[in-house]
Amino acid sequence: MNLLPLVWAGVWRRPWRTSFTAASIAVAFLLVGLLQGVNAGFEQTIAAARRDLLTTDARVRGSPPMPISMRDDIARVPGVAQIAPRAYFVGIFRPPYDIPAIATEPAAFFSLRPTLTVEPGHIDAIQATRTGLLATPALLRMYELEIGDKITLRSRERRLDGSSDWPFDIVGTFDSVNDPNTAVLAVINYAYFDESRAANRGTVERFYLRIADPRKSVATAAAIDALFANSSHETRTRSDQERAEADTKQLGDIAFFTNAILGAVLFALLFLTANAMRQSIHERLGEFAVLKALGFRDSTVFGLALAEALVLYVAGAVAGLALAAALAPLADEVTGAIRVSREVVLRAIGLAALLAAASVALPSLRLYRLSVAGALANH
C-alpha cells in the first residue's frame, strides 16, 4: 500500500506552519553549510599541502640569513632528493608599488613548488639569461609590461658598485594555482642577485627541499635541524603540511568557534521542529486513532510521523545547503578558505535525518500509548 499520499497530506496539513518550519530548517542548514564549509576549507588546505616538500628556515624568525654553504650539508642528509635556495628581493619599478621577487635557482624551485605553474620553455629562458626575470600575468598587467621588455628596478638592496638600480630582462611568466591572475610576484636568478649585492652576500633566507619518502618527513626534518643545533644558525625544518597546520592554528581556534555557534543554532532548531511536530501530531490524534482502528500498526503510524519530519528536514536542508554553496564565493573573500564539499553536504543531510528523528521521538511516544477509544471519544 502506498503511504506517500498520506505523508504528503500530513506535511501540508497546516501550510503556514510547514512553510515556516521548513524555512527555519533551511536557514539553520545555510549556517551549517557555511560554517562547516569554513572548517572543511581549512582542513582541505592542510590535507592538500604535501609532506614530501620541506622548508628549512632560521629557527627564530627575524634572525640573520643563513649561509648558502648550509645547502651542501642539508643535501647530504639521507633522504633529501632536491634542494633550492631562496633569497628575497624587493624592487620598485614605478613608485609606490613594490615588486617582490624570489631569488632562486628557477628549475629546482619550480619543481619544488607545485602551486606555481610555468611553461618549461620559460624555465629554460631564465636559466639561460643571467638577468632574466619571470613575472606573473597580474604583475605584467599592473605595469603594462610584456615578455621581452628590459626593466630597471630600484631597490634598498645596493649593488657592489654602490648603485641601487638593478637591470632585468623579462623572459617569461608563471602563475599561482591558488590566486591565478591576481598574485603579484617575480622570480629571478639567485646567482645574479647574490654576486651583485653589496651586503649579505652568500646568504639565503630559506631552503626548499624534497625528500624521497613522504612518510619520513618528521625524521628528516629532525635530522636536518640536529645538524645545526647549537650552531650560530639553528634551523627549523617543517613539511608544507605542518606549516599549513601551524598557520591555521595561528588564526585562533576556528573549530571551537564554529562548533559553538552551530551548537546554539541546532539546539534552537531542534526545539522549534520538535514543538511543531508535537503540535501537528496533537492536532491529529483523532486521525491517528482512526488509522489504528483501521488496522495500521503502531510502527506504521510512527513511520508516518517520521516520514513527515524527514520530508521537512531534508527539503529544508537541501535548500539551505544549496544557498550555502551559492554564497560560498562571497564568504571566501572574508574567511579565505571555504569549501562546501560533498562530504560537508552528506554529513549535513545525515545530521538533518538525525534531527528529524529526534524531533518526532518525544511526540510519537504519545502515538504508541494512544488508546483508540479514548482518542476517538475526545474528538
Partner 1 sequence: MRSLRHTVAVTTFGLRSIPRRPGNSLVIVIGIAGVVAVLTSVLAMSVGFQRTVSGAARPDRAIVLTTGAESESSSTLSREQVRTFETAPGVAQDPDGKPLVSAEVLLVAPVSRKHNAADAYITLRGVGEQLFRVRPEIELVAGRMFEPGLREVIVGQAAQTQFAGLELGSLLRLHDGDWTIVGVFAGGDNVRESEVMADAQTVLSSYKLDAFNSATVLLDGPSALSRFDQALQREPALNVKVYAEPAYVAMVSRPTHRLLRIVAFAIGGIMSIGALFGALNTMYSALIARTTEIATLRAIGFGSASVIASILIEALLLALAGACIGIAIAYAAFNGRAISTLGGARWDSQVVYALTITPGLVALAIGLACGIGLLGALFPALRAARVSVADALRMS
222 touches partner 1 by CB under 8 A: no
The separation between CA 277 and the C-alpha centre of its own chain, rounded to angstroms, equals 38
Provide the 8-state DSSP code for 58.
Answer: E
Tell me whether residue 226 or residue 246 sits nearer to partner 1 (CB atom): 246
Short-list 51, 49, 52, CA closest to 80: 52
Report the site for partner 1 in 153-172 (rule: CB under 8 A): none
Residues 6+ apart with CB under 8 A from 183: 136, 138, 175, 176
Q: x-or-dash pattern for partner 1, window 7-36, by CB under 8 A?
A: ---------xx--xx-xx--xx-xx--xx-
| Minimum distance, C-beta of residue 12 to partner 1, in the bound complex (Å) | 15
Residues 6+ apart with CB under 8 A from 211: 52, 54, 79, 80, 81, 217, 220
| Minimum distance, C-beta of residue 22 to partner 1, in the bound complex (Å) | 9
User: Which neighbouring-strand residues pair with 154?
Assistant: 92, 165
Total chain residues near partner 1 (CB under 8 A): 44
- Matching residue, cell 572548517: 39
- Matching residue, cell 639565503: 204
Short-list 102, 129, 130, 128, CA closest to 116: 102
Residue from 272, 314, 349, 372 binding partner 1 (CB under 8 A): 272
User: How many Cβ atoms from other residues are within 10 Å of residue 330's Cβ?
Assistant: 10
Q: x-or-dash pattern for partner 1, window 315-344, by CB under 8 A?
A: ----------------x--xx---------
Cβ–Cβ under 8 Å, residues 265 and 345: no
| Minimum distance, C-beta of residue 37 to partner 1, in the bound complex (Å) | 13
Looking from the CA of 34 toward its CB, the CA atoms found within 13 Å total 24
Residue from 50, 130, 278, 366 binding partner 1 (CB under 8 A): 278
| Minimum distance, C-beta of residue 126 to partner 1, in the bound complex (Å) | 29
Tell me whether residue 213 or residue 283 sits nearer to partner 1 (CB atom): 283
Report the site for partner 1 in 53-92 (rule: CB under 8 A): 58-64
Residue from 8, 12, 271, 368 binding partner 1 (CB under 8 A): 271
| Minimum distance, C-beta of residue 374 to partner 1, in the bound complex (Å) | 21
Can the peptide bond before residue 96 be classed as cis, meaning omega within 30 degrees of 0?
yes
- The footprint of partner 1 (CB under 8 A) covers 16-17, 20-21, 23-24, 27-28, 30-31, 34-35, 58-64, 96, 232, 234, 246, 249-253, 260-261, 264-265, 267-269, 271-272, 275-276, 278-279, 331, 334-335
